[in-house]
Structure 1
Amino acid sequence: MTALTERPVSLADISRRVRDAVRFAPIGTMTTQRLDTSVRVVRAPGAPSAAHLSLALDGHDYRRLAARTLDNAGYDVTSYGTGLLVHTGTATRSDLFDFVVGWCDTCYYEHDYDPVLSEHLMQVLREITPPCCTDYQEELEAFATSCRNRLRRLHDHIGHEQASHRSGRYVLARQPETWIVLERAATTPDVLYAALEGVTSTQDLSDLTAAWENTG
């Protein structure tokens, strides 16, 4: 496995999540906003893991909505003047990770996974999944439901064999976020491989996807 390092906060992910949330927010009498210049995200000076977010929209409701949206994605958010200070946070504290862990618990396996690896993978995966968590959870559940038996076979025949190890060719097979990796591999493989470069080895990812193909 590639060594895990601290990941800078993603300005693009923060921006797209807030834009998506505010665009359709039923706050007051306004349900649609022109957001070309309404959201501004810049890196905090000297702090790669933090960003300043400002909204060119009146009212605390929008800032609260932005803060709640980012908090649900696992970012740490605090007030900063009239805007927000956003830190990388803990991606495994997100609604999306809770969802995949819960689904794995109840649907197909007991998992003994590496929480440190999950954190680093989820920091990347949240940047390449759709910003609306509720909609994406529905897509992800539909994918997993249609592939339920394949997911079980993947874990039983590969993930289980590696359960006592923190490394190995198929280390990804026993991670709960692998469900997201496989869905993204089926949907946007080039984006997935590029995003995970430096987080996990290309060989590990190739081994996982090859094993997945063999379960079909």
Structure 2
Amino acid sequence: MTISRKYGRTYHYPFSPGTTSDDRISRHYWQDVRVLQAVVHTEKLDGENNCLSRYGVFARSHAAPTTSDWTKAIRERWALLRNDLGDLEIFGENLYAVHSIEYRRLEHHYYVFAVRLLDTWLSWEEVKFYAAMFDFPTVPELRVVTPSTEAVYRQEVLDLVSQPSVLEARDIHTQAPCTCEGVVSRNAAEYAVADFPRHVWKYVRKGHVKTDEHWTRHWRRAPFAWEYRPGS
């Protein structure tokens, strides 16, 4: 029996090249996108999805709170705010451990991307409100658009994923600058939890993953921006 519900599986755009065999693709995404008043495109960050609820900090498995070493810092933060969460569940990207991308402009290790309240995913404005209230940043907001035509919308996504990461992404092997991992798009308004697949989509660049199943044995903490030496 789980004490927390997982974050829904985000479907890929059909033009997203970074899919794997177990990924799902929203081949008819435009039917859902075109009826939305506004879509928020945010940078997809390369970390671990961590949920903060009154029951604990959850990672992949929501059957029990996580106890991994790289969630120690966020679990300490959670202990300070857990009594104020109530029915709110905050979802964020935990960047404490370096995965396939190293970011050179990190000011924090936890970036909020969604907030769930019972059976509703709150609007993007409410996400930013609660993130600020609990003193967390949100994932970088890239653009808010009003869908017009599929061709224009698709090109907007492609333009965004070709840009450098807001947090200055570096390839973990070469340390060369690289584009962002991808883009996550969501309905700017609130929507029902049951309707998640019709309101959130993602684009992931090809060849993004550089780690393997053994990365947890040799993981390292992601440095903050001020910890890098000038010119490094």
TM-score (norm. length: structure 2): 0.21
TM-score (norm. length: structure 1): 0.22
| Structure (1 or 2) with the larger CA radius of gyration | 1
**Structure 1 or 2: more strand by fraction:** 2
Q: Which of the pair has the greater relative contact order for Cα pairs under 8 Å at 6+ separation?
A: 2
